[in-house]
Amino acid sequence: MLRKILVPLFVLGGILATVTPAHSATICGKRAHLVSALSRDYSEQPTFEALTADGRLMEVLTSEKGTWTVLLTSPTGRTCVVATGTSWETLRHAKLTPSA
């Protein structure tokens, strides 16, 4: 169970460390407004979510066309776009079984 959580977080952390945001200015606003705009303009829907160590909600929204956006929402409710990109692929992982 822990691997199911940690592996995507490490992968996403690596992605965030190497991705340059699409905009030089940070885009922030109400979560509902940003999610609605991403759905309307790019057909992106929430695909992945996790809580960060400092209590923020991290979400990845993706589309069938391969576009993606990473949102971070603070405990105060402020949501910001932290990265965007193209060519999103969902990997299928082999089921992990405990070794004997």
CATH number of domain containing 64: 3.30.160
**64 vs 44: CA distance, rounded Å:** 8
User: What is the extent of the structural domain holding 81?
Assistant: 2-85
Domain assignment present for residue 93? The answer is: no
**57 vs 98: CA distance, rounded Å:** 30
Domain assignment present for residue 15? The answer is: yes
Question: pLDDT 10s digit of each residue in the chain, 100 long?
Answer: 444 544 454 445 554 444 444 444 689 999 999 999 999 999 999 999 999 999 999 999 999 999 999 999 999 999 999 999 999 888 777 666 666 5
| Domain count for the chain | 1
Helix (H) or strand (E) holding 40: helix 31-42
Domain assignment present for residue 67? The answer is: yes
Domain assignment present for residue 18? The answer is: yes
Domain assignment present for residue 14? The answer is: yes
Domain assignment present for residue 47? The answer is: yes
Question: 66: number of CA atoms within 13 Å, CB side?
Answer: 4
**53 vs 28: CA distance, rounded Å:** 21
Domain assignment present for residue 91? The answer is: no
